[in-house]
């Protein structure tokens, strides 16, 4: 794992240096360090790598354009990265280095909830602006906590996800949908917003919860069919979506088709039946899709990410948890006129709207979670198309 | 046909095909326990290995059925190796055998993660679609799986009841000491049941593959159900395992179809506990304790 | 036929047999008697391969079979009918008998021979012959003992060892079993080595009686020489190491 990391770092550095044509602005110059505390090795390496690579890409792009201005000083960004090895002690040691040794005021990560919870215990008293996509920051109420004003969640809040999911159900033209998910806490946290959005959209929902480790979904699909639903919407675990889809097709239970959250195009193209499924299919995604870009901006970003030469694997969309926010942070510092006063920067950052790759981005107030474009990836007759579900930001 | 009847039959059929897989696994458990008194808890991992071996062969050859043809002898070989290398040393202390099997779970899972990665792997078995029988949709792969299980268990039953090998196997199960006095090679027979039990797990693994998704951790789903079925059917009783397997499958399916589906496991295992309190040797009768 | 030479058996700290030497011929019924724990069953178990002697020799027709497996001992012509019958209770009488012939599996016409043998013994013991399809655990104790004996005979032994065939049986049944054992010896020429607690029964059946005490053979004599209650009481209840009240060879 360690060797892999060294190779990865070298690859990022080389790839980013290759295209560098920095034109340095005249006048005073300064450097703002951006801290990254991520799971770059250990069991969560696949989660931590994409956000980390995206931060470096964004920093490189900002510097490449000559940096950003704050008052009469032109600043460039410098990434300072620590690998927490996917372990609590690594997170603490990393934060100590970033906060105490490097005196860094803006830190990203970790993305994994349990580690992010530990990390914020150190950044909050240090008055550091701390960004993470950790779902637990939302569910534990950290992002609503007035005592933690510098924590920012970089994942869509649950109701935004639900809005995208309902858009997927509508895309199928379904009026009565079976909501399929494992019977666990994740589902409990997500079901409320979905039901509320469905009610608002006039869609009738039958919930069908199954034991987490279900292998054969025939019975649950038959239950949905007996309830005369016209589509199935699948929440989680995403691994099981192809199984449910296949059962639903073979048991002729979904006249209008199948939708799922983050279930991806591959489920319908290949995973369920080895060939495209014969029913309409929509995957509701919380971020743009890099394989099926919904806007020219996303397409260009996917290319830039690809040009780094690093395979970000299955979790490549986790790069949206950081990329736009680095750009947004630079803009916020310009607007706030300071690179040190974290309260001031946070106030601007939390109330501005930034036009990024993931659409118009802004923070909801309660919780302080980012809102950006969702995406519907549709598969019909083996053809894939994608379109954004615009964020509510103005 | 009345719509409610159709729905009921649909749920029942859904359960039969899954129950057949449970029956197969339980038959292996019951054979191994019946002869060695070892609670072989790693049987779920054998199922998992069967699934992955079948998947690898399929990916390599493009022939889904070849996966079955390779997985079964491969698992038989694994059964032979584990018995020779480990379990034969624990025959006098079956509890040690049980603990060893727990260790084997970790080893086999770890091996599978190394070879096939921890990520889920998908299969799309070639038999797709379903047959419509009076409004009840019979998924083709499920029908074929069920037929295979019936054939395999019937063959096991015939071998047990009609052949000298089967009789000597039952004799060892009844009384290994007396069997030895007849000149029956008790150790060899016990080894053979590990081979057969593992081969049955290989078939079950291939069937699990036909359900679509496998991971190195998929064994846990099957081992508990396999043991529940073996207990209800009566340890050492193949017909009991077959009936109890189908019974558990149908019970799960009806629970999923009519009651709060999320609690399927709880209903089913609640029923298992009640049955065992009422009939400790299982519904069909089986062994009570160790004799070896 | 069977020679046991200076046999020692230890189970951990227990010294079960301390130099047992015995011979048995096919023409006779030899009965081992002795108090509980004297090591009588251990002698049979050591010969049949169920337990391994720590020293000494077991020869069958001159061939050394010390410590060999039960299977090899059966093949060499000596079969043990274990204490308590130990029939395969879930199986029919016929299946039990078929398994008795297990070591002949694979021989030419093995199946036909087994069928013939069952038919022959069924004739010899008609009350079992009528119940071949019955589940063996449903038979009476006496019938089970006869099935156990026939099962032992199915391997065509030249010598049959029996561990307490009278145990748990009614006196009238014991008498019958005794007659059958003698008939077997006389008519079929099968040597019998038997362990018995029931001394009266032992003396009725035996051609020779060996008395075991504390893992040693202390006395071998024809039954007539052991009709003296004082002599038996000496071995069973007295100090076995002291000389017996009347002469007897050891």
User: What CATH number should be reported for the domain holding residue C38?
Assistant: 3.40.50.300
Chain B residues closer than 8 Å to A209 by CB: 260-262
Residues A240, A381 share a domain:
yes
Residues A382, A335 share a domain:
no
Task: Report if residue A23 sits inside a domain.
Answer: yes
Task: Report if residue B290 sits inside a domain.
Answer: no
ipTM at complex level: 0.88
Best of A183, A207, A210, A216 to mutate (most B CBs within 10 Å, chain B): A216
Question: Helix H segments across chain B?
Answer: 3-36, 43-61, 64-85, 94-116, 140-162, 164-174, 176-181, 186-210, 219-233, 238-258, 264-278
* Domain, as residue range, for B154: 3-278
Task: Report if residue B292 sits inside a domain.
Answer: no
- Smallest CA–CA separation between A218 and chain B, in Å? 6
- What does the alpha-carbon distance between residue C224 and residue C153 come to, in Å, rounded to a whole number? 29
Residues C149, C211 share a domain:
no
Confidence bin at C247 (pLDDT 50/70/90)? very low
Task: Report if residue C93 sits inside a domain.
Answer: yes
Residue in chain A lying closest to B132 (CA): A251
Task: Report if residue B82 sits inside a domain.
Answer: yes
Q: How many structural domains compose chain C?
A: 2
Task: Report if residue A369 sits inside a domain.
Answer: no
Task: Report if residue C199 sits inside a domain.
Answer: no
Residue in chain C lying closest to B178 (CA): C86
Token pair recorded at residue B247: 């019974």
- Other Cβ atoms less than 10 A from the Cβ of C128: the count is 23
Task: For C197-233, give one letter per residue: b (16+ CB within 10 A) or e.
Answer: ebbebbbbbbbbbbbbbbbbbbbbbebebbeeeebbe
**Is the Cβ pair B181, C48 closer than 8 Å?**
yes
Residues A385, A244 share a domain:
yes
* Domain, as residue range, for A262: 158-285+375-389
Token pair recorded at residue B286: 């089986």
Domain CATH for A208? 3.40.50.2300
B288 lies within 8 A of chain A by CB:
no
Domain CATH for B191? 1.10.3470
Crossing angle of the two packed helices A342-351 and A323-336, in degrees rounded to 10:
120
Residues A170, A30 share a domain:
no
Beta strands in C25-126 (DSSP E): 29-33, 55-60, 63-64, 78-81
pLDDT in the model for residue C242: 64
Strand order of the sheet with strand A129-132? A68-70, A73-83, A28-38, A106-108, A129-132, A151-153
Beta strands in A266-336 (DSSP E): 281-285
Residues A136, A102 share a domain:
yes
**Is the Cβ pair C99, B179 closer than 8 Å?**
yes
Task: Report if residue A195 sits inside a domain.
Answer: yes
Q: How many structural domains compose chain B?
A: 1
pLDDT in the model for residue A214: 86
Residues C55, C12 share a domain:
yes
Task: Report if residue A394 sits inside a domain.
Answer: no
Residues A8, A94 share a domain:
yes
Task: Report if residue C11 sits inside a domain.
Answer: yes
pLDDT for C237 beyond 80:
no
pLDDT in the model for residue A335: 95
Residues A71, A15 share a domain:
yes
Residues C64, C35 share a domain:
yes
**Is the Cβ pair C100, B180 closer than 8 Å?**
no
For B117-145, write each residue's pLDDT tens digit.
888 888 888 888 899 999 899 999 999 99
**Is the Cβ pair B174, C102 closer than 8 Å?**
no
**Is the Cβ pair A222, B14 closer than 8 Å?**
yes
Task: Report if residue C235 sits inside a domain.
Answer: yes
Task: Report if residue B9 sits inside a domain.
Answer: yes
pLDDT in the model for residue B264: 67
Best of B208, B256, B269 to mutate (most A CBs within 10 Å, chain A): B256
Residues C158, C99 share a domain:
yes
Q: Residues in chain A, how many?
A: 394
Best of B5, B262, B270 to mutate (most A CBs within 10 Å, chain A): B262
Mean pLDDT over the full length of chain C: 88
Residues A127, A12 share a domain:
yes
pLDDT in the model for residue B143: 93
Task: Report if residue C18 sits inside a domain.
Answer: yes
Touch between C and B (at least 3 CB pairs under 8 Å) = yes
Residues A137, A20 share a domain:
yes
Confidence bin at C248 (pLDDT 50/70/90)? very low
Which residue from A208, A215, A250 is facing B261, i.e. has the nearest CB?
Answer: A208
pLDDT in the model for residue A115: 94
pLDDT in the model for residue B172: 92
CB A156 within 8 A of CB A393: no
Low-confidence ranges of chain A (pLDDT < 50): 1-3, 18-25
pLDDT in the model for residue B157: 92
pLDDT in the model for residue A1: 44
Which residue from B168, B177, B185 is facing C99, i.e. has the nearest CB?
Answer: B168
Low-confidence ranges of chain B (pLDDT < 50): 288-292
For A111-158, write each residue's pLDDT tens digit.
999 999 999 999 999 999 999 999 889 888 999 999 999 999 998 887
Cβ neighbours for A188, distance < 8 A, ≥ 6 positions apart: none
Task: Report if residue A368 sits inside a domain.
Answer: no
Q: How many structural domains compose chain A?
A: 2
B63 lies within 8 A of chain C by CB:
no
Residues C160, C84 share a domain:
yes
Chain B residues closer than 8 Å to A246 by CB: 124, 128, 212
Chain A residues closer than 8 Å to B221 by CB: 213, 215
pLDDT for C131 beyond 80:
yes
Residues C36, C128 share a domain:
no
Residues C114, C12 share a domain:
no
Task: Report if residue A381 sits inside a domain.
Answer: yes
Q: Give, in degrees to the nearest 5, the angle at Cα B62 between B58 and B63.
A: 70
Task: Report if residue B283 sits inside a domain.
Answer: no
pLDDT for C249 beyond 60:
no
A219 lies within 8 A of chain B by CB:
yes
Touch between A and C (at least 3 CB pairs under 8 Å) = no
* Beta-carbon pairs below 8 A across chains A and B: 96
What would the mean pLDDT of C17-34 be, rounded to a whole number? 92
- Other Cβ atoms less than 10 A from the Cβ of A303: the count is 11
Token pair recorded at residue A362: 């802004």
* Domain, as residue range, for C146: 77-191
pLDDT in the model for residue A21: 45
Task: Report if residue B284 sits inside a domain.
Answer: no
pLDDT in the model for residue A23: 46
Residues A106, A60 share a domain:
yes
């Amino acid at each position: 794992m360690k060797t892999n990391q060294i190779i990865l770092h070298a690859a990022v550095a080389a790839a980013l240096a290759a295209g560098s044509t920095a034109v340095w602005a005249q006048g005073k110059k300064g450097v703002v360090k951006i801290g990254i505390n991520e799971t770059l090795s250990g069991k969560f390496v696949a989660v931590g790598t994409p956000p980390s690579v995206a931060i470096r890409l964004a920093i490189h792009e900002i510097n490449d354009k000559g940096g950003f201005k704050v008052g009469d000083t032109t600043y460039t960004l410098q990434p300072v990265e620590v690998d927490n090895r996917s372990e609590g002690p690594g997170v603490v040691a990393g934060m100590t280095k970033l906060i105490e040794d490097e005196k860094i005021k803006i830190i990203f990560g970790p993305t994994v909830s349990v580690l992010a919870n530990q990390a914020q215990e150190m950044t909050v008293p240090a008055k550091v602006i701390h960004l993470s996509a950790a779902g637990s920051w939302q569910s534990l109420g950290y992002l609503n906590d007035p005592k933690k004003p510098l924590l920012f969640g970089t994942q869509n809040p649950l109701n935004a996800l639900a809005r995208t999911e309902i858009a997927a159900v509508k895309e199928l033209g379904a009026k009565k949908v079976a909501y399929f998910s494992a019977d666990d806490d994740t589902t409990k946290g997500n079901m409320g917003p979905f039901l509320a959005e469905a009610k608002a959209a006039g869609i009738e929902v039958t919930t069908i919860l199954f034991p987490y480790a279900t292998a054969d979904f025939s019975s649950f699909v038959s239950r949905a069919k007996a309830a005369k639903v016209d589509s199935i919407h699948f929440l989680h675990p995403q691994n099981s979506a192809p199984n449910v889809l296949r059962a639903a097709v073979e048991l002729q239970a979904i006249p209008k088709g199948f939708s799922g959250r983050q279930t991806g195009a591959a489920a319908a193209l290949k995973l369920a039946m080895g060939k495209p499924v014969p029913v309409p299919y929509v995957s509701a995604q919380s971020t743009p899709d890099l394989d099926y870009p919904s806007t020219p901006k996303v397409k260009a970003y996917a290319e830039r990410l690809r040009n780094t030469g690093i395979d970000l694997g299955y979790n490549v969309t986790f790069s949206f948890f950081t990329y736009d926010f680095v750009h947004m942070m630079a803009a916020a510092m310009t607007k706030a006129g300071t690179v040190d006063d974290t309260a001031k920067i946070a106030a601007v950052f939390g109330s501005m709207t930034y036009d990024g790759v993931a659409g118009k981005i802004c923070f909801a107030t309660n919780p302080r979670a980012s809102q950006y474009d969702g995406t519907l990836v549709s598969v019909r007759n083996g053809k894939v198309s994608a379109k954004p579900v615009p964020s509510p930001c103005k | 046909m009345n719509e409610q009847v159709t729905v009921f039959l649909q749920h029942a059929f859904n359960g039969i095909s899954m129950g057949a897989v449970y029956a197969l696994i339980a038959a292996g458990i019951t054979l191994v326990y019946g002869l060695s008194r070892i609670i072989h808890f790693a049987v779920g991992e054998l199922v998992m290995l069967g699934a992955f071996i079948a998947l690898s062969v399929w990916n390599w050859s493009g022939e889904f059925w070849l996966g079955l043809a390779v997985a079964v002898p491969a698992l038989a070989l694994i059964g032979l190796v584990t018995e020779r290398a480990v379990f034969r040393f624990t025959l006098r202390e079956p509890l040690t055998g049980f603990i060893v099997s727990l260790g084997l779970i970790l080893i086999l899972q770890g091996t599978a993660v190394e070879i096939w990665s921890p990520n889920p792997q998908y299969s799309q078995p070639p038999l797709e679609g379903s047959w419509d029988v009076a409004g009840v949709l019979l998924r083709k792969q499920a029908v074929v799986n069920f037929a295979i299980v019936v054939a395999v268990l019937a063959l096991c039953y015939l071998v047990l009841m009609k052949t000298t090998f089967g009789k000597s196997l039952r004799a060892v199960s009844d009384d290994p000491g007396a069997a030895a006095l007849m000149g029956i090679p008790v150790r060899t027979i016990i080894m053979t049941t590990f081979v057969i039990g593992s081969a049955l797990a290989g078939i079950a693994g291939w069937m699990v593959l036909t359900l679509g998704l496998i991971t190195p951790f998929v064994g846990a789903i099957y081992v508990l159900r396999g043991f529940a079925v073996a207990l209800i059917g009566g340890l050492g009783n193949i017909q009991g395992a077959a009936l109890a397997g189908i019974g558990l499958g149908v019970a799960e399916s009806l629970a999923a179809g009519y009651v709060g589906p999320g609690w399927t496991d709880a209903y089913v295992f609640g029923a298992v506990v009640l049955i065992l309190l009422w009939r400790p040797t299982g519904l069909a009768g089986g062994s009570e304790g160790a004799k070896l | 036929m069977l020679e046991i030479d200076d046999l020692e058996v230890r189970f951990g700290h227990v010294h079960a047999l301390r130099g047992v030497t015995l011979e048995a011929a096919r023409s006779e019924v030899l009965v081992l008697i002795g108090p509980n724990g004297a090591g009588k069953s251990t002698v049979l178990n050591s010969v049949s391969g169920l337990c391994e002697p720590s020293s000494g020799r077991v020869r069958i027709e001159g061939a050394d079979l010390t410590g060999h497996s039960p299977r090899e001992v059966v093949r060499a012509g000596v079969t043990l009918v274990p204490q308590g019958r130990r029939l395969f209770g879930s199986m029919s009488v016929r299946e039990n008998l078929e398994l008795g012939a297990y070591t002949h599996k694979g021989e030419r016409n093995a199946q036909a021979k087994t069928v013939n043998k069952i038919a022959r013994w069924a004739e010899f013991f008609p009350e079992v012959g009528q119940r071949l399809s019955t589940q063996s655990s449903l038979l009476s104790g006496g019938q089970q003992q006869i099935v156990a004996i026939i099962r032992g005979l199915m391997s065509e032994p030249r010598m049959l060892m029996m561990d307490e065939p009278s145990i748990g049986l009614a006196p009238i049944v014991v008498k019958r079993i005794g007659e059958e054992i003698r008939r077997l010896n006389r008519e079929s020429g099968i040597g019998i080595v038997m362990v018995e607690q029931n001394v009266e029964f032992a003396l009725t059946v035996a051609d020779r009686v060996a008395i075991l005490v504390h893992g040693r053979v202390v006395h071998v004599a024809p039954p007539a020489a052991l009709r003296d209650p004082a002599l038996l009481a000496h071995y069973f209840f007295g100090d076995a190491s002291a000389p017996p009240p009347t002469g007897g060879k050891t």
